[in-house]
């Protein structure tokens, strides 16, 4: 199985943010959530608008590790 390395260069992250922000806001928000919270994409994709709208905090159980966040 191939390994995946994280993007470590802050300039690369900012470039990705800019491209996503100019495009689809959904993709931008998912990217920011993943980067800032360290969530896996499978956990992010399972969220609905009602799960996060008008909330200051969200709690979820990670699918893969079963950790509560």
- Per the CB < 8 A criterion, the answer to whether 55 and 32 are in contact is no
Query: For the segment 8-63, what is each residue's pLDDT rounded down to a tens digit?
Result: 999 999 999 999 999 989 899 889 988 988 888 888 898 888 988 898 888 888 87
| Angle (CA) 41 35 42, round 5° | 10
pLDDT at 69: 67
Record the pTM. Answer: 0.72
Better-scored residue on pLDDT, 66 or 52? 52
pLDDT of residue 62: 81
- The answer to whether 31 and 16 are in contact (CB under 8 A) is yes
Per-domain residue ranges for the chain? Answer: 10-52
């Amino acid at each position: 199985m191939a390994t995946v390395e994280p993007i470590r260069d802050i300039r690369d992250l900012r470039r990705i943010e800019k491209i996503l922000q100019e495009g689809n806001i959904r993709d931008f928000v998912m990217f920011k959530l993943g980067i800032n919270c360290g969530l896996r994409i499978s956990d992010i994709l399972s969220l609905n608008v009602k799960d996060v709208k008008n909330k200051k905090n969200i709690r979820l159980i990670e699918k893969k590790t079963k950790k509560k966040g």
